[in-house]
């Protein structure tokens, strides 16, 4: 991730009023060789990530790794304190009571997996306390579906606007927005 | 895409996406009603009574309670288990029903999860106070110390409980908040007023709803649901270990884990119904929390109510069949001893009262359901009281048999915690989106009468037989 502040550049914005229209529009726009910078929707739309060609999220793998870390931590704490550091002889019972370790191990596995995954999720999505949002249109969290494309030369811009209009966009406009393109 | 004509309608009133936002955000935008203010002041005052009880306990110690040498656990642990049980429905609705793709959860999951979090907070208060010296509560964690170091006992179910409940609270909170972020963003983008906007901007974490965000959101929701499902089952299992691993007749039974989990779901749904029937009416959310939702929850009540019924009966049978005279005595004493009235309140509220829901008309009548849900709450409170107090009050030595009478302080704490719960819930209904806005919008295409004019509405909506299915007025009749 680059540390330098992202520049603001001109974008072409197409606003749709229905999720199925948007899904169709995304497919058409990409077929015409236009690179979509981002899509904003008020709720998750099934199939949108495939239409945009996104790879599957790796967050489940993150959860698994953190969960494993939790399992190891739990066993290390329990064996470290109860078996190695200070054994307590209670009626000759084992100082390595593995069945008794199951509940705490399970709980810490779940705790680590959940917190680790959600932490990664916040970082990956670049959201968190104090983050100022750049809202393209305030209705994008209500009932509008917004597509943005980074503007280039005039001919390209016309092509994009044409694609928006062909797919039934309600509003087409230009707007200065932060450049999200990765170099 | 194939759409079953029998698919249930979960959102009614012919709503557009914008109307969904408008309806759910309305309480946040408008001034509090007189009823809300009245209810809030009442709850806060009741909470104040609890505060006095807690203060008295902290200053004078556990001696302020009605416990004695024989009955060492009573109101404190009864209330603890009661509230933990209440806290099970939220995660059950949002996690298990998500895994089972039960779309009706979208109408009620937000409020149920809020209820879970508040209930677990209320529950956590009791073991804290019951320690006697809550300022040393950090001793329950395995922290390095200057006593050897002496570590906590990992063989003890009481310690497992510490981990189970703190994990459950944390994960439920994270699950709830992850779902709230997009909805806070919705409120942020429409609310007027500089201060309110800055508060909701902070709460929404800068969410903008890009496609990538939503893709990760869905992945996180699914995995959190997968993690929460065994978690929610483990929590009450471990709570039941507090009793089951002891050698007290009446507690020492292997049936406890499933029996406690079923009871927790039962009591949790009882409380969800109590709260939702009022909330949907007061906040005008009847189009999102429909009669169909209430009916679905009533069905859960019948199922889990019968599970606890089977557990009560099995316990009794095994007490006789085991041949253990102490076990047999504990159960006969439970049903016919000095606390017989508590046992029969428990039995009739939990096993008999939900049976009325076999009748369709009754489970689709919100006010009738409300009354039964109160019975369920009472019954489940008594279940914990019966298990704890009747098993303890007559121990092995007849000379130490005692009765238990709660002190005024204990009553004050018990009532005050209800005040805490309702205060938190009222604040939630005022400042938070009570229904998951984004989730409801995502099921609109398949489950709302706006888009499913052809659906046979009667399946979920109750048109009497023989009457043509309801069609919304502006639908095109072919």
Q: Give the pLDDT score at B473.
A: 47
Residue B15 CB partners (closer than 8 Å, separation 6+): B23, B287, B444, B448, B450
Cβ count within 10 A of residue B120: 24
User: For A134, which of B159, B208, B238 is closest by C-beta distance?
Assistant: B208
Residue A65 contacts residue A120 (beta carbons within 8 Å)? no
Q: Using CA atoms, how far apart are residues B457 and B450, in angstroms rounded to an integer? A: 12
Q: Give the pLDDT score at B463.
A: 43
Q: Tens digits of per-residue pLDDT, B185-225? A: 999 888 888 898 889 999 999 899 888 999 999 999 999 99
All residues of chain A having their beta carbon less than 8 Å from the beta carbon of residue B205 are 122, 127-129, 131
**DSSP secondary structure code for residue B132 in this structure:** S
Q: Using CA atoms, how far apart are residues A122 and B217, in angstroms rounded to an integer? A: 10
Burial class (CB in 10 A: 0-12, 13-18, 19+), A65: middle
| H or E element that contains A150 | strand A145-150
Q: Give the pLDDT score at B106.
A: 82
ipTM of the complex: 0.91
Burial class (CB in 10 A: 0-12, 13-18, 19+), A89: exposed
For B436, the closest chain A residue by CA position comes to A43
Q: Give the pLDDT score at B476.
A: 43
Contact A143 B438 (CB under 8 A): no
Q: Which long-range contacts (CB under 8 A, 24 or more apart) does A18-23 make?
A: A18/A145, A19/A43, A19/A45, A19/A145, A19/B445, A20/B445, A21/A145, A21/A167, A21/A168, A22/A48, A22/A145, A22/A147, A23/A47, A23/A48, A23/A51
Mean pLDDT of chain B: 86
**Nearest chain A CA: its distance from B156 CA (Å):** 8
All residues of chain A having their beta carbon less than 8 Å from the beta carbon of residue B151 are 81-82, 85-86
Provide φ and ψ at B461, rounded to 5°. Answer: -110, -5
| Chain centre to alpha carbon of residue B418 | 13
Q: Using CA atoms, how far apart are residues B88 and B241, in angstroms rounded to an integer? A: 17
Tell whether the model's pLDDT for residue B457 goes beyond 50: no
List A residues 116-155 in contact with B (Cβ-Cβ < 8 A): 117-118, 121-122, 124-136, 138-143
Instruction: State yes or no: cis peptide before B149, omega within 30 of 0.
Output: yes
Q: How does pLDDT run along chain A (183 residues), one tens digit per residue?
A: 444 567 888 888 989 888 888 888 888 888 888 888 889 999 998 888 888 888 888 999 999 999 999 999 999 999 998 888 888 787 888 888 899 999 999 999 999 999 999 999 999 988 888 888 888 888 888 888 999 888 888 888 888 888 888 888 888 888 888 877 664
Contact B178 A118 (CB under 8 A): yes
* Range scoring the smallest mean pLDDT among A87-91, B56-60, B414-418, B445-449: B445-449
Provide φ and ψ at A147, rounded to 5°. Answer: -115, 135
Q: Give the pLDDT score at B231.
A: 92
* Domains of chain A, start order: 8-56+138-178 (3.30.70.920), 59-124 (no CATH)
């Amino acid at each position: 991730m680059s540390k330098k502040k992202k520049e603001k550049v001109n974008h072409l914005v197409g606003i749709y009023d229905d999720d199925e229209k948007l899904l169709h529009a995304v497919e058409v726009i990409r077929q015409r060789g236009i690179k979509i910078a981002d899509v904003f929707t008020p709720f998750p739309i099934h199939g949108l990530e495939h239409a945009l060609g996104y790879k599957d999220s790796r967050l489940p793998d993150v959860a698994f790794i953190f969960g494993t870390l939790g399992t190891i931590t739990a066993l290390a704490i329990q064996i470290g304190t109860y078996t190695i550091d200070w054994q307590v002889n209670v009626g000759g019972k084992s100082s390595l009571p593995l069945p008794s370790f199951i509940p705490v191990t399970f709980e810490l596995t779940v705790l680590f997996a959940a917190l680790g995954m959600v932490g990664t999720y916040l970082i990956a999505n670049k959201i968190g306390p104090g983050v100022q949002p750049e809202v393209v249109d305030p209705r994008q969290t209500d009932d509008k579906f917004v597509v943005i494309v980074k503007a280039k030369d005039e001919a390209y811009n016309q092509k994009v606007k044409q694609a928006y209009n062909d797919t039934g966009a309600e509003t087409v406009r230009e707007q200065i927005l932060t450049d999200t393109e990765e170099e | 895409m194939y759409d079953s004509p029998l698919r249930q309608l979960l959102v009614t009133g012919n709503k557009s996406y914008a109307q969904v936002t408008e309806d759910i955000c309305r309480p946040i935008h408008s001034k509090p009603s007189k009823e809300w203010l009245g209810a809030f002041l009442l709850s806060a005052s009741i909470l104040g009574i609890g505060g006095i009880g807690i203060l008295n306990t902290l200053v004078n110690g556990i001696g302020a309670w009605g416990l004695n040498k024989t009955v060492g656990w009573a109101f404190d642990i009864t209330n603890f288990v009661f509230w933990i049980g209440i806290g099970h429905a939220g995660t059950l609705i949002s996690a298990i029903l998500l895994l089972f793709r039960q779309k009706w959860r979208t109408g009620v999951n937000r409020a149920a999860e809020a209820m879970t979090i508040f209930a677990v907070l209320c529950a956590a208060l009791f073991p804290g106070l019951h320690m006697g010296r809550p300022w040393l509560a950090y001793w329950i964690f395995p922290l390095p110390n200057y006593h050897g170091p002496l570590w906590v006992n990992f063989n003890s179910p009481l310690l497992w409980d510490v981990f189970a409940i703190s994990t459950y609270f944390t994960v439920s909170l994270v699950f709830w908040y992850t779902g709230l972020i997009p909805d806070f963003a919705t409120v942020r983008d429409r609310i007027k007023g500089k201060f309110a906007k800055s508060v909701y901007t902070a709460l929404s974490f800068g969410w903008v709803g890009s496609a990538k965000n939503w893709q990760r959101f869905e992945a996180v929701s699914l995995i959190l649901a997968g993690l929460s499902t065994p978690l929610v089952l483990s929590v009450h299992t471990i709570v039941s270990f507090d009793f089951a691993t002891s050698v007290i007749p009446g507690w020492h039974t292997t049936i406890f884990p499933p029996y406690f989990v079923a009871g927790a779901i039962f009591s949790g749904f009882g409380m969800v119904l109590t709260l939702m029937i009022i909330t949907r009416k007061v906040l005008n959310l009847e189009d999102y929390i429909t009669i169909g939702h209430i009916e679905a929850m009533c069905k859960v009540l019948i199922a889990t109510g019968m599970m606890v019924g089977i557990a009560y009966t099995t316990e009794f049978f095994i007490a006789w069949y085991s041949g253990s005279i102490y076990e047999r005595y504990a159960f006969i004493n439970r049903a016919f001893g000095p606390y017989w009235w508590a046992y029969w309140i428990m039995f009739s509220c939990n096993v008999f009262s939900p049976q009325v829901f076999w009748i369709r008309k009754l489970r689709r009548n919100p006010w009738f359901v409300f009354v039964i849900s109160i019975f369920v709450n009472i019954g489940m409170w008594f279940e914990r009281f019966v298990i704890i107090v009747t098993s303890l009050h007559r121990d092995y030595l007849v000379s130490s048999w005692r009765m238990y009478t709660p002190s005024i302080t204990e009553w004050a704490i018990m009532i005050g915690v209800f005040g805490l719960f309702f205060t938190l819930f009222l604040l939630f209904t005022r400042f938070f989106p009570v229904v998951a806005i984004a989730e409801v919008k995502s099921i609109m295409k398949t489950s709302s009468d706006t888009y499913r004019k052809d659906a046979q509405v009667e399946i979920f909506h109750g048109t009497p037989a023989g009457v043509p299915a309801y069609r919304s007025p502006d639908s095109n009749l072919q």
